[in-house]
Structure 1
Amino acid sequence: MRDEYVFKDSVLDRVKAVPVLVGSLEVTMEMAATFYDVGRDAVESIIRRNRAEFNEYAELRILRGKSLAEFKTLRQADGDFKGVPSITLITRRGLLRIGMLLTESEVARSVRNYLLNVEEIASKEQRAWSMEREISKRERRRLTDAVQVFGDGNPFVYANYTNLVYRVLFDTDAPGLRKLYGLDPDDNIRDAFSTEDLRSVVDVETAISSLLRLGYGYREIRDELLGRSGNFRRDAA
């Protein structure tokens, strides 16, 4: 199954911007780790344990000697490559294969969900919605992590921030949206959102996460975002 999907490497750009080397479509181990938000050792371990798969499609290239010297000459301004005895470069297909093998990465999970659940069976509009849904779930986890670390300990803080997002975008709260969409108590509100709505939710939650990390409290964030709610509403653009 990995071999079947590994040629759909364009999915990477739909999940997250792929870092690139100037003049190349390959990435280094460090760039692969950055893309998947994991440590370099996690990428090294995946490649080491599954090298046969990567080698079968020439998804890895190790530079030593003359090829390494030429590589360094082309990138003299990049101090990260000075003094290293070898460099492993990974193709885009190899980067996608890493995502199919990583278990401790939200980005990799988003890639797999998109490939396995959507790509082959959905319309263009459904694929766009699913991609935004995956991104919104990842951003939601970033928000909950920020609330846990930087929040004020209020037991209702998660619900408060969720309702703040909805108030900024829709002038209502979670119960109001459930009523609007005719949802049952166990239904996920976000599954009823359009692609544009999901993008707007990501924008607001990203703003909240950033303000939390800057030391803003709930009331400050509430006043700031409600005062600029028009900037987040795509129908007002």
Structure 2
Amino acid sequence: MAKDLTESSHDRQNILNNRYALQQAEQHLGLGGVMFEGETVFTKAQVIALYEVTERTVERYLASHGDELKSNGYKILRGAKLKEFKALDYGTDMNDGTKTSVLGVFSFRAVLNLGMLLTESEPARQLRSRLLDIVLDVMAERVGGQTKFINQRDENYLVSALQEENYRRQFTDALDKYVEGNHWKYARFTNLIYQSIFHENAAEYKKVLKLAEKTNIRQTLYSEVLKLIASYESGIAHELEQVSTSNGRKLTQKEAESLFASFEKHPLFKPLILDARTKMASRDLCFRDALHEKLEAYIQSVTEADFERFLGEKSRSLEEQLSDPETLAVLKRLKDR
């Protein structure tokens, strides 16, 4: 889907939190700047020249988006830091239209941030277009162009998937032993779990992610979501057994659904559901360009830690993980339990 970086703070921050995209941008955009304390910084005069805007325009954005720009590296130099910066003598206007006792400087990240905000600058518009291309190129390079199963690059995925499979077996066994009805009950109660956690049934979820009909949904879920599903499955299996044993008979599907409705309201699940919805909505929009409309209120920027998790050095394809003897040993221990 088309991204308007001038309007969406989430989309802006998703780029700024992606250090792999920033590295490529700094290498290829050639924006200039000066080195100070180990990083590239820009004075206000340099930013004005770069984006072909007025000082008043820059000041207006500093006033309207000050917190965002500061969080991404805009800072005021004073005292010893300012003297140190002036001593570098890069041939720039160090006073930069401010009092000599203070000087505002933009980090490379803050300069990109401002470029994603400026609506009245053609160079900024061009920069936004190039940034979006760089993000796509970086994603393709690091995950081989396939984001549908990017969740599997998480080093925690395999363990979570195997644990969930074990609890899934307990869940289906409990449905078989303690609930009346045909095989449709398995799909029915599975959808109840999905709807409770992320407000979508299996068919709706596959449509959002553009999955093939026979794709196993669990192969696309993040490890945190799998763990929560496993908790549901384990807990519901226990409750079904307790009530059925107490009654001395199988439960009707209506009774089982009533039990589930009570189970999902347990306060234990509230923070876990909030976390799962936030991660799922935010990551899918960022990494998979998939919008879960029913979870739109939960969308946040993807953290730098998540970019490391799915794009970083520790992230590996499922095939690579399964070829690792240590990983296989861990999986074997879990499976033998």
TM-score of the pair, normalised by structure 2? 0.32
Structure number with bigger Rg: 2
TM-score of the pair, normalised by structure 1? 0.44
Q: Which of the pair has the greater relative contact order for Cα pairs under 8 Å at 6+ separation?
A: 2
